[in-house]
Structure 1
């Protein structure tokens, strides 16, 4: 677990609610710029009307006449930024990023102007995927204005985007020394503690941060991780927070808590084959279950280390391994060499092999394993489980409030965006085959354009 990063596409539900923030109007004009305010205002008026080319020309001419004007330099950067968006040009955007950076080096810019320029520079660097440069820009701002909490908070997010949780943690610890009640710092600090598996320690920070109502805290991911932390501590208060997250529009329901969603899809924990429409795929799996089982068992016997341990910190205890054949709609040729007949079965089922938000894999679970209650990341897929080697007693799966068992040679289908939990209390291993498929109500366009997860 690293950054609090949002990958939702335009076709997905994204409800960000920010608390009311009373801000003073920033002071953008220094002493000199006040003397040319009318000319600056005229150029800015063009920009606000969407006339980015004319605004760029106007601010460029102002800089020719008044090369010492920080506000004209900032206006030029904004106009280039606007033009880059209009033309969809990363080259122009790179020019805008450089110009934003030049604002800080102008003679006597106001503090507010420098902060706006460098924050936007960092934001645009992040947009282009230049995360390290963005962090350097924010660090420059922090060095210049060490008492500005908002900049430190943004720097912490930058480190999280880099996957550098340790430096992010240091930043938020500094913030909480300066501002012990800062809700933004608290939720992010709690998130980092949870990522470090300091579950009990994370809870008060996540809880107090959410209760603060500070801008940037009302985010589904924080409700998600607070509830998960409480569940792992055996505290039923988790469902109070899930309910609140649902009421705030972050979760489809208390049970269905995926964060990367397409609105309006049919939602139920368990599905029949007929309801999915994927009858041929299910028939193929059940007809060939022994072939799939035998190839999997041969891999288990011959190839040590090919079943990799579950690595998402979902187990309370036990041993759970997976051998993946398709991931995010891509075939893993190295894996398929070991189970060629199994992989060949899927050639005519793009609803599975093309599911960029899922996997096709073997899953082995040994006795004494308990998988925490958890939800998958998206409502865009359904998950099929084909029983291969199932002990007579002791293995069960709960999805929402309905608990079922596997049977050898039979497929069960559930929506893993709903809370589910697994117990393996048998006296021998359980082997199943997992096949993710696109949610049947997704259009062909959505299947093509949704981002991988």
Structure 2
């Protein structure tokens, strides 16, 4: 009780000094205001507000050295409060020291990467220093982080004092996206050599439509990114994955955990996240009483479903022991895929051939199949792995009267090198980050991020 009272009195004392100093400032008694703030800072050295007010008074009388000293101390005592770092960077800029401003911002953003204003200013300073790629990288962070949080999507969500800077950043990203995309894995090129990234470069220039990267096989049509020079085949040997034997050996445990879930009759979400206006019949049809494609997700778009892992601990342990394709907001995608009786998944294409799809059939009634169009049907057999390239047109069906369950997971193409996997991960995250920003609601043409 006495400690709480003491803390309350202490806070009241600080608040009183801050108010008194503000009253003095408003009456033009700046010397007295500074004295009171100095007293407050002596008694409460961690007070960010006292330090920043005192720094502002020092700036008002053009004592830049004192302002820098105060803000540096504030940053050291409050490393997770990025506004002090931003103010310090601005003072460095105004005193002709942009390199110091960059150093302050970079150190602060390493601790508080969600501070969009810091990224925005860092982009401006880097641009002024001639570091074009560094500026684009900072602006990418600023715009994508802000828009994921619902900010800077249009003029109503952008503070007026930032509007011109935000518009400039969006415009520069639109015009500089090629440099940004190549730059996101440039350090790998410097480390491993240009020849190790040749195929990634070729995939990127194809994505940018600098050449026609349409696959020669008319059955293969990636919806997002085609990586050339990989073996082009609908089906692939699952044991090209070094962890395939481990996955197959886990079949009995995974099957039992899937059976337990079905017996509990727990509600499962649809595998496809249908949106208002979507025509379900374009995705699912069938003669069953309630055609449905459902999923018990372990990972979805890279997000881990901890509760589901806890409910199936043996399956979880195996998944966490093997290489998963990890791409922010994209992968892994791992689930018990549940196809209800009489359901037909209509023909469709996947997004990229840098990832393949692995199936471990767990519960397979008769008359169930995966069909890669014009490449042949595959009739699942319980416990037998199958791996395929889902950028080839494919469909699946369950024409039985029982539920079919498989472990479905995406995985890296085994034909990619470790360095290529790193580069593709960065490239996809950068491209999709900009696309996500552009999909934010209420964004008008001026505020739209580049595709």
Query: What's the TM-score, normalizing by structure 1?
Result: 0.46
Report 1 or 2 for greater relative contact order, CA contacts < 8 Å, sequence distance ≥ 6: 2
- Give the structure with higher Rg (CA): 2
TM-score when normalising by structure 2: 0.46
